[in-house]
A and B are shown apart, each in its own frame.
Chain A
Amino acid sequence: MSGTHEPGVPQRGVKGVGSDPREQDRDVAEAPGKIWFRDLDEAVIEADRCIQCASCVAACPSDSIGIDEDEGRPTLVKMCTGCSRCWDFCPRSGLRYERHLELAREERALEEPATYAARADGEAAAAGQDGGVVTALLAELIEVGELDGAIVAREREDEPLRGEAFLATSREDLLAAGGSIYTQTMGLGRIEALLAEGDLGSDDPELALVGTPCMIQGATALDRYDHDPADPIALTVALMCTRSFEHGRLLSRLESFDVDPAAVETLDIGEGRLRAVDETGETLLEADVDAFDAAGLRGCDECADFVGDAADISVGNVGSDDGYTTAIVRTETGEAAWTRAATALETTAIDRPTALETLADWNRRRAESILPREFDPEASVGITYDAHREAYDGTDREPEPLNPARVHQYEEWC
């Protein structure tokens, strides 16, 4: 069986949930398997399962999906043509991410992925988190001409602790953007715009994409099918992740601990603790990260990809000593980049740390216990709308009716 490519019976009238007035009076039965952005909206975004990876934004061939600035989530900005690509590449709906990871492993992974404890020397170590490896790696690759730039996250100037996607093209840019951001940036959906704004002087730029495992899932899935939006991505770096925060809720949570978000210079999460530090280095808050559950994106609970298995390189702070980053180099592309940047890094090959394995296992168990559908790396990569409904309906993650009041009202039609 071939996933989303599956004929079925036409359905008379309403397919989605709720009562979209468009469907009050349909005189034509819909094609089996037909997907509109609205279906994604209901099954993922309205159902509060969106992980803000922006795969849908990147996948849409007519650029009809944009980013709602206020809510930081995808929204329709132009007419939807019903091509289903947003669904096909969404790790929370049409893309069976565990199958995609399996295919990525089969097709791209080295026989033996290598694990390193690494750190950068000098400035990068101070600017980045836990050893500054990503900063040093990318800066080196840009300077030797392997990359034209990197899509990374940095903190917005106008809003504390809110990340934004940024196209770094120099070591200075990377140093300025160093440090972890715990909200999503939708960077995958902003590549085209960032390239248009930036001045790379290349028609065929080669970029690194740094982001959460889900963002890398979307990017690498688009690449597997040779879809244009993935063309500029020459290297993928996953930041190990158990969940992202929703920005507004994160602030609200910090405030509940009487922490002024604007005073927070850095936010670090490690070993189950969340630590907020101000610009003088004073700790404003140290709390159990579980206390921030309510600020998390609920869709992250369904993810078993803590490590970022689709990426060329994954980095994180689990399993290495303070000041070091654990890096997993997984593909030939990753290996080549790692080798090319070796002079900028201090690296020691290590076994896969037990702590990392433990956390990854825990993460997978959590996902499997929460995921309403079956977790099946052997099944087809595509999940049909019907199959999704069958698994999710009746759970607390079922599709929610679209509320037109919350939908961006676009003015562009054909």
Chain B
Amino acid sequence: MSTALDIVSPSWLEAHRDAESVVVVDVREERDYEELGHLPGAVNVPADRFRDPSSVVDGKLPTADDFAALLSAAGIERDDTVVAYGDDGGALAARFLLTALVYGHEGRLSLLDGGLEAWRDGEDGSLSTDRPSSDPTPYEAKLRADAPIADRETVEAAVEGDAVVVDTRTAAEYEQSRVPGAVHLDWEDLLEEGRLRNEATLEELLAEHGLTPDERIVLYCNTARRLSHTFVALRHLGYEDVSFYEGSLTDWVRAEAPEWDPVELQAQVRHYADNGGFEAMVDDLGEDVLGRLKLIGLYHQKQRGYFMLRTRSPGGILTAEQARTIGEVADEFARAPEEYGGPDQNPVFGDGYLDVTTRQDVQMHWIEIADVAEIWDRYDAVGLSTMQACGNSVRNVVGCPADGLDPAETVDIQPVVERVSQRFLGDRHYANLPRKFKVSVTGCHEDCARSSIQDLGLTPARKDGRDGFVARVGGGLSDGPRVASDIDLFVEPDRVDDLVAAMADLFADHGSYLDTAVNRLRFLVAEFGPEAFREELESYADFAFEEPDETLTTDYRGDHVGVHEQADGRSYAGLNVPTGRMGGDEFAALAALSDELGGGELRLTPNQNVLVPHLTDDGLERLLEDPLLERYSPDPGPFTRGIVTCTGREFCNYGIIETKNRAIRWARELDDWAEAAGIADDHEAIRIHMSGCSASCAQPQLGDFGLRGEVYRDDYDSGRAADLGLGGDLGNDEFIDWLVGKIPIDDVPGVVKATMLAYDADSEPGESFTEWTRRTSNADLREIVTDGPARDPPAIETEVR
């Protein structure tokens, strides 16, 4: 590489800046450049224009075209000498030079030592607020073949002894976690009062770190800013073989750091159970341990010192023994302290309850660190785990709740679910993906594990007479919902775990560990495009990709409530658990019933319900007579049957509205109303999905009525509210549109009633609720919704625009 890259002094610049081929570039913000003044004649290329973090796939470099356009507009020629400066110690100016180097600039590239401040202290020191006029140049940028960019493999090889890896971040960052074997050299150590130290000092310093000009050197930091300065300095000192890693190494760092290892973390936390509990843990490990505890299934509640504990249940299948253990643990440990109301903590459920979730997990609250060792011991004894139930790993695999029961099933998914679950459990690397990774497997023809909202959703398909699955990728809800893309990929059941691993590897390599706005897998799918994503995925897989001959999904099943016949002639009872919440003692009792009357098994469903399978006729009859089924009925009213909520404000730091009790109260009230209004029998289920905030934990986009917590405010008043959408229908890959914002929360039941009455009056024979909402214009729907409730004053305005 021939381009000269060095550091020049203000006096050099004074002497040379009038030369025609010298262009001075100011990388500060435009306003600073304009109003505070800049070196006379300097052009402005603000750093935020040549650093492009919005691309997930390509690191922080801008595209060649974008960079060329910037330099063209600045009037720079390819063979100009460019001198860059800023006011941040030189990192961003160095970054500019490095970018120019990578894109094939031919002229000399120089960093102004000390930046703006040194210039001001110099002999001339003048500033100007005039923008120099320059004609656009035909600048062309092209990534040079020998660009000093290290890829991940280069870094890995360097770690193996191939080169010296240098961490240019601060000592604190380095101490916290680092690439194995990396040498620490804070980029600012090369500076003294903002200026480059003298060469003798630098050489000594570098030699102390084992950095000599004959070494191969690979630099890294976090966002490729600080390393740029060190890069320029090393080249200035005559180091030739220097390269830099463009992306973030957070993934790797985590994969190597013990504190991000779920197994070690669990061992650490166990230790504190008997040695000082929460306070000792936080004192020793720091507050940020609270974030990492998600790796082992513990979410810190908004009540300090207490946790939500999430237990995995792969495919939603629990043995009676496991279910009983979970119920007993909830009954014993999910107890609220007196200061939060003790046994009266929750007005409906008291305390000691648990929640069945939409990913077939079980959650309970008020868990203390002091109790986790005992809980984990009991779990270990029956084969339960909380590890990686939360956090950025392969989450609990969702499966058809009626797996092995449904007469019309193509693939038995249980072994698949088990294998995927086991493969990634306790694995440090897969426990620290850029973000969570959600997988579901469906074996029946009714997509009951909801493939369209998973990062990877598998539904039955056939190829050359072989049964297997077709893959959909990149689905999800949260704050940017996306329906998963069918990538026309057939996978055999015993290849599924390989596919998940390939996808997780791709995710770790390409996904953003830094940009939190874009780090779910669906952004990668969107950026690659489904076809290119499939190609990329194939390069990670150790098997050749095939297309399915036929896919076998025919229908969509909303829930499994009610009594259903199994393939073997026995029955399963789908019990409705409104909002998924039940007492720990009740859950244990249900486990006992399944042991006594069924096959000793419980299933959890993505609707927050519970199935009791393998019931003989006699067993079924006895189950139906049990008093427990009065509350958890196989034949509930339509609103009770359809209600789904997240945890809500009761425990969640983010929840804007309380959800569970409110929803249960509403469901009961609305069922009574529906009965009285004579519409109850027209509907099996009316699905209200209520999330406490915009995070979509209750999957509001799938409901007949989707609700999302909000607040409203007018001139005199403010209060809790909800956004409302209508007509989610996963069977047709339809999410709701958010129709109306900020409906005061107490008005919602009235809105629901008005909408149901309008549907009743307006729908055509056989037209479903979702069909009706699709047919009716949003303007009409909004009128129905906003005319309904009477509120005094101010009423919601109906403004149809």
Contact = CB atoms under 8 A, between A and B. Distances in A.
A2 interface: yes
A255 B37 CA distance: 12
Contacts of A28: 481, 701, 725, 735-738
B14 interface: no
A278 B309 CA distance: 59
B715 A31 contact: no
Contacts of B739: 10, 31
A414 B714 contact: no
A376 to B, nearest CB: 13
Interface in A147-179: none
A394 interface: no
A82 B694 CA distance: 6
Nearest to A2: B714
Given A8-B801, A10-B778, A25 B35 contact: no
A64 B741 CA distance: 21
A21 B52 CA distance: 12
A328 B347 CA distance: 49
Given A24-B527, A83-B709, A225 B479 contact: no
Q: Which of B515, B725, B738, B794 has the most CB of A within 10 A?
A: B738
B517 A20 contact: yes
Given A7-B786, A22-B518, A382 B714 contact: yes
B526 interface: yes
Contacts of A103: 715
Given A29-B738, A81-B694, A380-B714, A414 B797 contact: no
Contacts of A412: 291
A304 B572 CA distance: 70
Interface string B27-46: 00001100111000000000
A293 B16 CA distance: 33
B717 A31 contact: no
Interface residues of A, number: 69
Contacts of A407: 517
B782 interface: yes
Contacts of A253: 36
B570 interface: no
Contacts of A135: none
Interface residues of B, number: 73
A404 B54 contact: yes
B717 A225 contact: yes
A9 B527 contact: no
A5 B786 CA distance: 12
Given A4-B742, A25-B522, A79-B695, A404 B53 contact: yes
A293 B36 CA distance: 10
Interface in A379-410: 380-382, 403-407, 409-410
B799 interface: yes
Contact of B713 (A5, A23, A25, A78): A5
B621 interface: no
A372 interface: no
B693 A81 contact: yes
Interface stretch (B140-148, B194-202, B312-320, B649-657): B649-657
Interface string A54-65: 000000011110
Contacts of B714: 2-5, 380-382
Scoring A23, A25, A48 by chain B CB atoms within 10 A of each residue's CB, the highest score goes to A25
Interface string B509-535: 000001111100011001100000000
B603 interface: no
Contacts of A380: 714-715
Contacts of A78: 653-654
Contact of B799 (A7, A31, A80): A7
B465 to A, nearest CB: 35
B253 interface: no
Contacts of B127: 256
B741 A21 contact: no
Nearest to A46: B48
Interface string B639-662: 000000000000011101000000
B480 A22 contact: yes
A404 B515 CA distance: 7
B745 to A, nearest CB: 13
B31 A48 contact: yes
Nearest to B526: A25
A27 B481 contact: yes
A19 interface: yes
B9 interface: no
A1 interface: yes
A85 B711 contact: yes
B699 to A, nearest CB: 12
A105 interface: no
A249 interface: yes
Interface centre among B483, B522, B737, by most chain A C-beta atoms within 10 angstroms, is B737
A32 B741 contact: yes
B30 to A, nearest CB: 10
B693 A83 contact: yes
A313 to B, nearest CB: 25
Contacts, number: 200
A19 B723 contact: no
A5 B794 contact: yes
A252 interface: yes
B741 A34 contact: yes
Interface string B671-697: 000000000000000000000011101
A7 B709 contact: no
B718 A81 contact: no
A88 interface: yes
B32 A405 contact: no
Contact of A1 (B60, B483, B652, B797): B797
A252 B738 contact: no
Contacts of A81: 654, 656, 693-695, 709
B35 to A, nearest CB: 4
B51 interface: yes
A256 B36 CA distance: 9
Nearest to B714: A2
Contacts of A61: 656, 711
B801 A9 contact: yes
Interface string B712-743: 11110110000111000000000111111110
Contacts of B296: none
B432 to A, nearest CB: 11
A5 B653 contact: no
Contact of A21 (B481, B517, B652, B737): B517
A66 to B, nearest CB: 14
Contacts of A9: 778-779, 782, 800-801
B53 A405 contact: yes
A30 interface: yes
Nearest to A405: B53
A36 B693 CA distance: 12
Candidate in B52, B654, B709 with the most chain A CB atoms within 10 angstroms? B654
A6 interface: yes
B798 A21 contact: no
Interface in B580-630: none
A30 B480 contact: no
Contacts of B479: 22, 36, 80, 82
B796 interface: yes
B115 to A, nearest CB: 12
Contacts of A63: 653
A34 B48 contact: no
A29 B736 CA distance: 8
13 contacts: A5-B794, A9-B782, A21-B54, A22-B517, A22-B523, A29-B738, A31-B739, A34-B723, A34-B738, A78-B654, A382-B713, A405-B60, A411-B291
Given A21-B54, A83-B711, A382-B714, 13 more contacts: A6-B797, A7-B799, A9-B779, A31-B738, A34-B723, A82-B710, A88-B713, A103-B715, A227-B718, A294-B36, A381-B714, A405-B223, A414-B654
Nearest first, the 3 closest Cβ-Cβ pairs linking A and B are A31-B738, A81-B693, A294-B35
